[in-house]
Every structure is written in C-alpha cells, then in structure tokens.
Structure 1
Amino acid sequence: MTEHAGEQLAGWSLAYSGKVRDLYVADGETLETASEMLMVATDRVSAFDQVLGPAIPGKGELLTALTLWWTERLGLPTQLAPDAEARTPAALRGRAMLVRTLDMLPVECVVRGRVTGSGLKEYQQTGSISGVELPAGLADGDALPEPIYTPAWKAPQGEHDENVSFERTAELVGRDDAETIRALSLSVYARAAAVAADAGLVLADTKFEFGRDRVTGELLLADEVLTSDSSRYWDAAALADGRVESFDKQIVRDWLAANWDGTGEAPELPQEIVARTAARYRELLKRLAGRGA
C-alpha cells in the first residue's frame, strides 16, 4: 500500500495528509492560523474510499496542470496565492500550488450531465439523485435532459460522504451560499462541457469545492478543478458507438470492483492497470491542452 509520508521541506511543515493530497504550512503555523498553504498533489490514487498501491507515475503533475489550465482557460476566481508559481518551493513545482487558506464549506458540489456511477445506483433505487426527480427508463451513460446539481455532505475523515438534497445544503451553509455555489457549479460545468466537446470529449460529471477567504470573505473555487480525479471524461466518438472510453480513474474503479469484495485491505493494483491509468491521464491533458503526452 502507498504511504502517507510527506516530504521534508525547509521552512514548511506537513499539516495534513489526505488520501491523495498533502498540505503544508509555514513552520510554526497550523491550518487554523496560516494565511497560505502548499497543496501538493501526490501520485497516490484512491477508489471506494481506499488508498491503493502502487501510485500512478506522474499523476500529481498531470492533475495540477489540469487544474491550472482550466482555471486560466475559464478565468475562474480561485484560491491561488499571489505569485504562486514563483513562491512555490522548487522541489514541488509542477505538482504543488501555493494557495490562500480558506474556510471550506462542508459540501461537495457535484454536477451531472450523464447518469452513471453512484448516481445511477441512487436513480435505480429511487428514481432521483439527491432529491432531483429524473425521467424513467434512463440507462448507464444516458444524457440527462439538462445538467443537474446533486450535492454531497463532506463527512468527517473516516466517514463516507453522503448525497444530500439542496435544502439540506441550505441548512448546512445558509441559503445564500447554497444558492451561490449551486449557480456557480452549474455555470462552470456548462462552460467546461462545451470546451471538452470541442476536444471530442464528454464531461459526464464533475465535483467542485468552495471556501471563503478568511481576509476578504470572498467565496472561491478551491482544491482541484475539473481533473481526472474529480471528473468523468469520456471519448465522444466511442460513446456514439455505444462504448465508454474514460480518461479518468475508472480503469482503477473497474479493476477493483472486479477483484475486491470490499472487505479487509484492498489488493495491489497490477502494473498493467497502473500504466493504462497513467496513459489515460496523459492523453486527457493532451486532448484538452495540447500537452502532456
């Protein structure tokens, strides 16, 4: 299994190590007191709430490049700190972002243009996703009549996130913020889906996170944006032929679902699965931004 060991960085201390990201703050600071932090995208990969091994080579750099490309391409207000690239430690450039520390909202803002994954399971059971009623008869991969907002409550570490209704998010963060992040999520998804379509891709779904700047109070898009880990990208031509060719970690999910019953420790990923996943991540960046092959 992969380890959650952070790197030794002069002047910085590891403040948090998640499934796939490490957060650093300046020596002597904490996540509660620091005005900035280093958000490092590691090569670790997770699926079904498990951190798997081995890591996906180059994954951290590819996901960081995607986030930066999308935020620039769409002109999104994000948590990047001033002169972030120049002030990022040289050892981490390319796979880390220097960002303002935000007070995060406890909501994952999921937007779906297709019915698939956990949304499909919920739809099959209830005819809806996160309280959004959907037409009968939809199958895996089908396009929805229009993109839908299906938020999830970000559970404390060690617990499972939970799909919730919009009304529940209003209770969690206040109605004004709930309406703002819903509108922003749907708007960004629509713009990104159009860009992806021009590259021959279908953006099936994605998730966003938002936080409030501790100094200005501004609500900002945070964490990764439209990456292979936070989104499902499919090849449009293959989909038209009835096949799903994904450019995300679906390869990992599919292998794990076929080779693990969900009990005990997850098995090691075969090298073939690792190599195929890394290749798909690289191809996505090439298709969208013209680099990363």
Structure 2
Amino acid sequence: MELLHSGKVRDVYEDRGDIVLVASDRVSVYDVVLPTPIPDKGKVLTRLSLWWFERLADVVPNHVISATDVPQEFAGRAVRCRRLDMVQVECIARGYLAGLGLKEYRATGAVSGVTLPAGLAEGSRLPEPVFTPTTKAALGSHDEFITFQDVVAQEGAETAEELRRITLEVYRRGAELAAARGILIADTKLEFGRAADGTLVLGDEVLTSDSSRFWPADRWEPGRPQYAFDKQFVRDWAAGTGWDRKEPAPEVPGDIVEATRARYIEAYERITGDTW
C-alpha cells in the first residue's frame, strides 16, 4: 500500500487501484490535531459510518467496497473504497444553531448567505434545515463559509442543486432516525466525489461524532451550550486551558480522554442499538 495523504483524523492509502481509508484515534479541535489520542475513536467512527451508509444507500450511492478486505493492522477502523474525484466543497446541513454557524449568525444574521430569523440563541432549532457550505481547507487552514451561488459558480448549477438536495435529505433522514432514539443531530458535514462514470457519490464519513453535533434530546435547552456526544467536549476543555489554538497543542488529561471516549461510544450505542 502507498500512503497518499494523512489528514486530521484519517489516513488515505492506495491499494490495488482502490482507496483504503483508515480512521485513526486522533482528535482535532480548532483545526489542530491534539497530541493525545482517544482510544477506540477510529473504530467507533468507522462502524457508525458503515451503519449509516447502509441506511442511506437509497438516498445516494456511497464509496464503500468492503469493510473486511483491508490490512489486518487496520481491521475495524478501515474501509476499502472506490476512487473518487472529490468535490471541493464541504457540504453542511444545519438544523440547530451552534459552533461557527452561531458565530456567523451573530455577526451577520445569516449563515452562508442564508438569512435566519432574528432573535435566535445558541442551540436554537431552525425553522427548517439549511444548507451552509464551506470551502474545503487543507490541514492547518480554516474552512470559510461560501454561499450557494459560490457553489454554483465553482461546480455548476446542476451539481450545486444536487449537493444541496442530497445533503439536506441525508440530514433529514438521519435526524429523524436519531431523534426517535433520543439524540438530536444539530448539524452535519458531508463530502462528495465523482465516480468514474460521473455519478455523484457520498464519501469520507457520514453522521459520526466527528462530522456532526449530537445532543441528547432530553437535555436540549436553547440559550446555552449543549451537552454533547461529540468532540465539543474536548473543544470546551481546550478553550478553558488558555491555549492560543496554535501548534503545539496541549496534552489532554486522562479524565477528559476517558469521558470523550465514553461519549463517542454512547452516541454509537444509542443510534445503532448495538452494544460496544
């Protein structure tokens, strides 16, 4: 195998003409990879993505070839995938206001050019899910909000419409299923690529604790930070250390590591109904 790329969380290899996508236990916050891994994180992300890919197959084709035909050293956290020509847009759906979306809303009253109602607070539910794309930044850089018209200019009107339609449908389908199991999906990020025949294909990961914000429905309360089943817990810890969000990042204490691992696993178990 040949290592093609090492990202914030995943390593990408080429093998026999296919791509082998390996999820590590690394965790990144504020676009910086922390020096302390979260045990089992890669396996949780991989298993949850595979679970969702199966349930969304009627919405959009995905890149998965096999979760078992991978090198033994990566077993449980790797997926053999089709090669795709990746679309250079981060496709984000938001059903609730949080994170950078909240920051952008407070500054402009809109997110990615989508005007939102006045008076929304942190954690507010939006009247309907919105498509808020961003640029796809390299490691160490920051994604920037772009408008739907920017996507049209970059990818063409037909592709832009499909990206928006599929992103919102994946979000709606996922949010409905998760809500029935006590979890709110506040937002999610998707990545797409083109297969050799030109088909638009869902790649990377889908509806995981790294690509989405998961909140317990029974603890949701607008106007304050939400209890999170995702890496927001680590973000909050990092923000409280006084760290300047630049390299080098601080080591994560053991209790934060264990609590983060537990939240990833609880989200997986709640959503899938499986026992870790």
Tell whether the structures are fold-level matches, with TM greater than 0.5: yes
Q: Could you say what secondary structure the match of 1:147 adopts?
A: strand
Equivalent runs, 1:1-293 vs 2, <5 Å: 12-26=1-15, 35-75=17-57, 76-81=60-65, 84-213=66-195, 215-239=196-220, 244-259=226-241, 260-293=243-276
Unaligned runs of 5+ in 2: none
Q: Give, in whole Å, the separation in 2 of the partners of 1:92 and 1:289.
A: 22
TM-score by length of 2: 0.94
Q: Could you say what secondary structure the match of 2:238 adopts?
A: helix
Query: Structure 1 pair 97/264, CA: closer, same or farther in 2 (3 Å)?
Result: closer
Query: Structure 1 pair 184/36, CA: closer, same or farther in 2 (3 Å)?
Result: same
Identical counterparts, % of pairs? 49
Count of residues in correspondence between the two structures: 272
Q: Give, in whole Å, the separation in 1 of the partners of 2:248 and 2:138.
A: 21
Q: Give, in whole Å, the separation in 1 of the partners of 2:39 and 2:275.
A: 13
Q: Give, in whole Å, the separation in 2 of the partners of 1:283 and 1:130.
A: 32
Deviation at 1:263, TM superposition (A): 4.2
Amino acid at match of 1:230: S
Asked if the contact 2:123/2:221 (under 8 Å) is kept, the reply is no
Which consecutive segments of 4 or more residues in structure 1 shift more than 6 A?
A: none
TM-score by length of 1: 0.89
1:221-280 CA deviation, whole Å, 9 max, x = no partner?
010000000000000001159772211001100011111132442211111111110000
Q: Could you say what secondary structure the match of 2:67 adopts?
A: helix
Q: Give, in whole Å, the separation in 2 of the partners of 1:52 and 1:243.
A: 22
Deviation at 1:90, TM superposition (A): 2.4
Deviation at 1:174, TM superposition (A): 1.2
Deviation at 1:86, TM superposition (A): 3.9
Asked if the contact 2:186/2:213 (under 8 Å) is kept, the reply is yes
Deviation at 1:53, TM superposition (A): 2.0
Asked if the contact 1:283/1:292 (under 8 Å) is kept, the reply is no
1:174-233 CA deviation, whole Å, 9 max, x = no partner?
1111110100000110010000111011110001010001x2211100100000000000
Q: Give, in whole Å, the separation in 2 of the partners of 1:278 and 1:270.
A: 12
Asked if the contact 1:110/1:206 (under 8 Å) is kept, the reply is yes
Unaligned runs of 5+ in 1: 1-11, 27-33
* Correspondence for 1:9: none
Q: Give, in whole Å, the separation in 1 of the partners of 2:122 and 2:61.
A: 34
1:106-161 CA deviation, whole Å, 9 max, x = no partner?
00000000011001011001000010001111000000010000000112444321
Structure 1 window deviating more from structure 2 (157-166 vs 227-236): it is 157-166
Amino acid at match of 1:47: V
Q: Give, in whole Å, the separation in 2 of the partners of 1:70 and 1:227.
A: 9
Q: Give, in whole Å, the separation in 2 of the partners of 1:203 and 1:87.
A: 31
* Correspondence for 1:6: none
1:35-81 CA deviation, whole Å, 9 max, x = no partner?
41100000000000100021000000000001000111232410112
Bigger relative contact order (CA 8 A; separation at least 6) = 2
Asked if the contact 1:62/1:292 (under 8 Å) is kept, the reply is no
Deviation at 1:292, TM superposition (A): 4.3
Q: Could you say what secondary structure the match of 1:112 adopts?
A: strand
Q: Could you say what secondary structure the match of 1:162 adopts?
A: coil
